[in-house]
Amino acid sequence: MSTAPHFDIDVPAFWADPYPTFARMRKEAPIVFVPQLGSTLLCSRDDIFVSEKQIDVFSSHQPQGLMNKLMGHNMMRKDGDAHMNERKAIFPAISPKTVKTHWTAQFEAHASRILDDLTCDGVVDFVQAFALPFSAECLKSITGLTNMRFQDMNAWSQGMIDGIANYTGDPAIEARCNAATSGIDAAIDDMVPVLSKAPDLSLLGVMLQSGMPMESVRANIKLAISGGQNEPRDAIAGTVWALLTHPDQLALAKRGDIPWMQTFEEYARWISPIGMSPRRIAKPWTIRDVVFELEERVFLMFGSANRDEKHFANAEAFDIRRDASKSIAFGAGPHFCAGAWASRAMVADVALPAIFKRLKNLRLLEDQPAKIGGWAFRGLLNLPVRWDA
């Protein structure tokens, strides 16, 4: 382990709300070893911004990491040429141009269909009614796994992200993760003959055309599902909740005074749906007076970095008027989220404007507050709402 000071946490309390703990860490010791997680945490925005680019030290290649063991060796757990070669292979599927000219129209169709089917007969959980199916239907299109049910896409994504954040070693969580990856493999097997005969711009279609080894194809599809479902789902529901609890800011967004994209970027800073990324120490290294041990596990805490007081005034507040350009919600180095353009289009270009245009007087229920949780991945567990028919 590193020589960083030890910092004990209450794991359930940390899951419920990590931000008070992050604030203490940044103030008292922005690099800490947390025994309950068996890892050293980097909590300041500056340390993370620099370290994520130093791949020779903070390596994404983690042969013994949970993601490799449970999901296969994907590009997120590779560095240098190995990472870039796979990233280039998938780029035609998720480039800004492809998102704009091909996927956005499909996202709009999914949103319109789901909103058309919504009825407000009493209280509606907006996570289950819109955010979850919309994110999943979009991801079915992007991955090429159109043979899946949206419910399976969500369940299997959740099973994998729970599995790769299972640092306490819960066997039941690992079993659910293994069931999820088996289901995805079966869905891939069904679609390979289809997309081999009729290639398209989906991730599976593009990777098959590139000649990528099948084990890498499988691993990268699982990677896309593990982050590509929960992040937009949680960002959509979370941004709706944030705006409904800040009606003055909602008015700014609805009038067009603040772009929907800026609104989304501020939410992703304020409550980062992907709050952490693990790294392996690949060579001897010291930051200030903290000495890292070879092969030890380090967590880059994006959720803490995005509330760093050195870069964000009144960082604990949600404020769509702020400049959130220093946020690292999508990462900062060569592993910057490859799906960022698709995610931004889904949330900011399609979902948010459609929701607030179509659902009149959308509102929260005072007696049924929303619940939120997580630290490695953080999002709303429910969002009870009403609107006018």
- pTM of the complete model: 0.93
3-state secondary structure of 329: coil
pLDDT digits (tens, 9 = 90+) for 49-94: 999 999 999 998 888 788 888 888 888 888 888 889 999 999 999 9
Mean pLDDT (whole number) for 190-213? 96
Do the Cβ atoms of 46 and 325 come closer than 8 Å?
Answer: no
d(CA 58, CA 117): 47
Q: Is the pLDDT of residue 187 over 80?
A: yes
> Across the chain, what does the average pLDDT equal?
94
What is residue 77's predicted lDDT score, i.e. its pLDDT? 85
pLDDT digits 0-9 by tens, 6-37:
999 999 999 999 999 999 999 999 999 999 99
| Backbone angle region of 190, left / alpha / beta, with phi > 0 → left and psi within -120 to 50 → alpha | alpha
Q: State the pLDDT confidence band at 184, using cuts at 50, 70 and 90.
A: very high
Going from N- to C-terminal start, the domains of the chain cover 11-388
Which of the pair, 188 or 331, is modelled with greater confidence? Answer: 188
Task: Give the angle subtended at the CA of 15 by the CAs of 10 and 21, to the nearest 5°.
Answer: 60
pLDDT digits (tens, 9 = 90+) for 254-270: 999 999 999 999 999 99
User: Which pLDDT belongs to residue 294?
Assistant: 95
pLDDT at 282: 95
Q: Which residues contact 299 (CB under 8 A, 6 or more apart)?
A: 37, 39, 40, 41, 42, 276, 277, 278, 279
Confidence of residue 225 (pLDDT cuts 50, 70, 90): very high
Q: How does pLDDT run across 268-327, given as a tens digit for each residue?
A: 999 999 999 999 999 999 999 999 999 999 999 999 999 999 999 999 999 999 999 999
Task: Provide the pLDDT confidence category of residue 368 given band limits of 50, 70 and 90.
Answer: very high
Q: Quote the pLDDT of residue 280.
A: 93
pLDDT at 333 over 80: no
335 pLDDT tier (thresholds 50, 70, 90): confident
- Dist. CA 174–CA 350, nearest whole Å: 35
Q: What average pLDDT does range 353-382 have in this prediction?
A: 95
Give the C-alpha separation, 233 to 132, whole Å: 5
Q: Can you give the pLDDT at residue 234?
A: 95
Q: Which residues contact 352 (CB under 8 A, 6 or more apart)?
A: 236, 239, 240, 253, 260, 263, 264
Please report the pLDDT score of residue 192 as a whole number: 97
Window from 120-124, 205-209, 216-220 with minimum mean pLDDT: 120-124
Alpha carbon distance 343, 352 (integer Å): 12
Per the CB < 8 A criterion, the answer to whether 336 and 330 are in contact is yes
- Strand, coil or helix: 125: strand
User: DSSP labels for 2-37?
Assistant: -SSPB----HHHHHH--HHHHHHHHHH-SEEEETTT
**In this structure, which topology does domain 11-388 adopt according to CATH?**
Cytochrome p450 (1.10.630)
The residue among 150, 99, 156 whose CA lies nearest residue 347 is: 99
